Structure 1
Amino acid sequence: NFGNWQQMVGDQTGDDVFSGQDTGAQNSQEFVLCQYCRVNLPKVTEMIIAHSKSCAIPERSDTSFTFTCLFCPYHTYKRRHMRDHVRKEIGEKPFTCMYCPYSASQKSNLKGHMLLKHNSNASYDHVPLLQSSSPIP
């Protein structure tokens, strides 16, 4: 059972690096500002990544600038690296522990947490879909 729709799409929590506020769900009406072209974008990871590749303003002197962060000087040619970076920038933590309130922006961080804190080698593939509201016995 996946619970309600908000749990399925990810009711992420975390600190917003700009305001110190809770980030809430990605489908909320929050926006971020591109430092280059000043466009407001929905605070949705995939939309931010797409803009980091398509924004016409930043200079892209080589392939390492394929994706250019909207918030800081970071740049990369790997989409996966930009996804991890954007999640940190906006405070998105879609990977949640099934045993405690811990959440992480990257699956590998959750895996390390579960091994260290819960001595668990559980499967992590389903974890991003669920936001656990109570520990699983």
Structure 2
Amino acid sequence: MKTIFLTILLAGLLFATDSHADKKDQTLTIMLNAAGCVDQIKPPADDNCKTNNSGQRAGCGNSKDCVCGARDKHIVWQTDPKKAYSIRFYDQSPFQPGCRLQANQNGKLQCLITSDASGEYDYGVTVEGCEEYDPRIVIRAN
């Protein structure tokens, strides 16, 4: 199984002047290969990460698969091409209780991050007939 870690930093704003992330929802594209299985998860081109003086995205270091987000905002997954899938968290979830972790018929899944989410959350993406793909979400409070 091809395993690639996707690190998503979901940084909440405690003070507007001391933030590493803007407050906007983030859409991640689940890229499928010719067999219809997950090949990679692509972060948005315009994510919330701000570049620091050394040219690195604040909070991400050198990680290319990192996305910054904010508490009380959504993470959206969308398959390309459209296909059904589900997401499961191995332990706890950073999302509001009751969030349905199965994509709709258009391959879209959206969940709201809780206001108290913090830490690392390992999860798997499963497309029917394929091995589970296991990226990671990291949520940090500023």
Bin the TM-score by the shorter chain.
Answer: under 0.3
TM-score normalised over the length of structure 1: 0.28
Larger Rg: 1
TM-score normalised over the length of structure 2: 0.27
